[in-house]
Chain A
Amino acid sequence: MTSVTVPRRASRTVIWLVLIGVLAIVLMSILPWILFLEIVSRLNLFATVFLGIFIEALPYLLFGTFISGLVEVFLDRDLMARFISKRSVPAAVTGALMGMVFPVCECGVIPLTRRLFHKGLPLPAGVAFLLAAPVLNPIVIFSTAAAFGWGNMLAWRMGLSLVIAVIVGLVFSVEKDPSNVLLATLTLSHEHEHEHGHDESDPSFANKIQQALLICADEFFEMGRYLIIGASLAAALQTFIPQTALLSIGSGPVFSVLVMMVLAIILSICSTVDAFVALGFVGTFSFGSILSFLVFGPMVDIKSALMYLQVFRRKPVAYLVLLPFLMSLLAGIAFNYFMP
């Protein structure tokens, strides 16, 4: 069956490519030369920004997918059940702190969370892990401290991320049936896989590594797809919306927070280094707005929001974006009013 549909889809893609090519040639002949040069230089900027995000995120994504592969072949479901409580509050708190053991940023955390869900991680723990791990991990703590020192900014960043992640985790614990939240592939094969794992003789260590590498490669293709789409959206936004215009509207206790959060979404930079980026805004932006940039950015940006769609159904993804958005916004505004 696939042999019938696939060539048709492929030929359709070819037709699209030809159409785009023709359109490009027509546009090139109509547009005045100056405008054409402008477009070419914009295209250059787009390519540089896109490749910048892609190349920077690549090793982190590979790391995340490889850990995920290792978890699949080495981590026992029963072991996981023993360590993580079924009750919501302890599960959410444990989940939020798991980043200290798995130091991943927001690109790596998503494939890993998906894998852990597959291994039977409770929903609140997984959600809290997903949101908190990109901040509450040793690498990010050190990079934040390197930028801002061991002070208020670091403490509030970690505290706020923890609180928001646990709250969202608890919100998700209301849903008792994970299959309403997670994609079908994550829950369907449980039973099957469970018995599968037991009646097989244990494969050798080398075999397991080989298998982990294969899982890593497959997941790299699955997640990389969203990284690429996200990076091109972010690059396009940066190319066509001047950042200066965005920053110039960013004054006042509410707007400054909003602007920094929108910036966090558009920049789509890795949580391991966003502190250094945020440092550039000290002086022009208030403590509260920079804090919300540092808390919200690692939880949601264009590429991670797209990658969430590989784990969750659509409605839960909306919650995962909106709840942290609202809470970071409120926190930022509160800081602007009470700690200006």
Chain B
Amino acid sequence: MSQRLYRSFQALLMLGLFLFLIGKVMNNQLLWYINQRFIALTQIGIVFLAILAQRLFMEARLTRNHHQDEEHAHSHDHVPFGSAQNKPSPVNLWIMLIPLLIGIIIPAKPLDSSAVSAKGLTTSSPLISSDSSSKLFETESEQRNILDWVKLFYFEKDLNPYIGQQASVVGFVYFEDRLPEGQFFVSRFILSCCAADGYAVGMIVEWPDASSLKQDTWVQVMGPVDAVSFDKGISPLIRAEAVDLVPQPDQPYLYP
């Protein structure tokens, strides 16, 4: 492959990556892949991709001119190593195509029930160090999300004050064999870093009409909270008074 062609392909791939990620930013889908704390960093990265694409296009143009006037002489911006100037490897280009292909061919979807079966769901977990969780217990009960409830049930020794409090949480429906008829999990994925470390937390919901719901439907569940023993631990359970269908939130995950 000629030097110029290689540079052009590099530039095109860089541009492709840039456009792909810009697209993800535009339709808010970056949040499906990474924790929101990395969004700003990723955006800087995206700008940098554009700069690199521009630089590579420039180089592709320059390479053509160089080849015309100096065939064998060392060009003044000769880069000794680490640059593909010496031996362009087309394999690099093919592999850089992979993320673009995966991103474009496979329909984008946040982690859902199919990921729960691979990554597991927990109803009690110490997701933050206990000392920083204390102020959590003072919040309005209806303001707490699923993760807050799960943390609260994990850390609090005496659950009596919380039993009977009104909960209002949003999550997706997850049915599992461990639960009897008339119950389901309302759950969310927890992301520390990116989709790779995500795993689900859930609260059990008791709802006579549970069988009318479908796996992965997003719902808002309202009702008083109770504590039940589940899977060797104490788990929060909502005796639902209302289960409303809601659209999937822009930010499908919760962050510890």
Residues of A at under 8 Å CB distance from B? Answer: 2-3, 6, 9-10, 13, 38, 41-56, 58-59, 62, 66, 68, 72, 111, 114-115, 118, 147-149, 185-186, 189, 192-193, 196, 200, 203, 207, 210-211, 213-222, 224-225, 228-229, 232, 234-235, 238-244, 247, 267-270, 273-274, 276-277, 279-280, 282-284
Contacts and interface: CB of A to CB of B under 8 A. Distances in A.
Contact of A228 (B35, B99, B118, B126): B99
A217 B196 contact: no
A296 to B, nearest CB: 16
Contacts of A111: 82
A13 B41 CA distance: 35
A131 B229 CA distance: 44
Contact of B99 (A51, A189, A193, A280): A51
Contacts of B196: 49, 52-53, 56, 234-235, 238, 267-269
A2 B2 CA distance: 8
B33 A55 contact: yes
Contacts of B98: 228, 232
B181 interface: no
Given A149-B131, A273-B192, A243 B199 contact: yes
B111 A115 contact: no
Contacts of B33: 48, 51-52, 55-56
A272 B111 CA distance: 22
Interface stretch (B73-81, B162-170, B204-212, B236-244): B73-81
Contact of B193 (A48, A200, A239, A274): A274
Nearest to A278: B192
A211 B77 contact: yes
Interface of B: 1-2, 10, 13-14, 21, 24, 30, 32-35, 38, 41-42, 44-45, 48-49, 51-52, 55-56, 59, 76-77, 79-85, 90-96, 98-99, 102-103, 106-112, 114-115, 117-120, 125-129, 131, 154, 190, 192-199, 256
A267 B197 contact: yes
The 5 closest A-B pairs by CB, nearest first: A52-B195, A59-B45, A52-B194, A244-B120, A276-B192
B128 A279 contact: yes
Contacts of B195: 48-49, 51-53
Contact of B48 (A66, A211, A235, A243): A66
A224 B82 contact: no
A204 to B, nearest CB: 11
Contact of B81 (A49, A185, A210, A279): A185
Given A55-B34, A185-B81, A215-B82, A50 B256 contact: no
B126 A186 contact: no
B127 A55 contact: no
A13 B95 CA distance: 12
Given A50-B102, A244-B120, A280 B131 contact: no
A308 B179 CA distance: 47
Contacts of A186: 81
Given A217-B14, A242-B120, A279 B126 contact: yes
A51 B112 CA distance: 15
B82 A115 contact: yes
A143 B161 CA distance: 34
B79 A221 contact: no
21 contacts: A38-B114, A44-B109, A45-B115, A47-B109, A48-B32, A50-B99, A52-B195, A55-B33, A56-B194, A58-B42, A62-B48, A196-B80, A200-B76, A210-B55, A214-B83, A225-B95, A228-B98, A228-B99, A243-B119, A247-B120, A276-B192
B95 A228 contact: yes
A242 B117 CA distance: 7
A210 B33 CA distance: 32
B92 A222 contact: yes
Nearest to A118: B81
B45 A58 contact: yes
Contacts of A196: 80
A10 B90 contact: yes
A75 B73 CA distance: 26
A280 B200 CA distance: 11
A147 B83 contact: no
A274 B108 CA distance: 25
Nearest to A37: B114
B103 A51 contact: yes
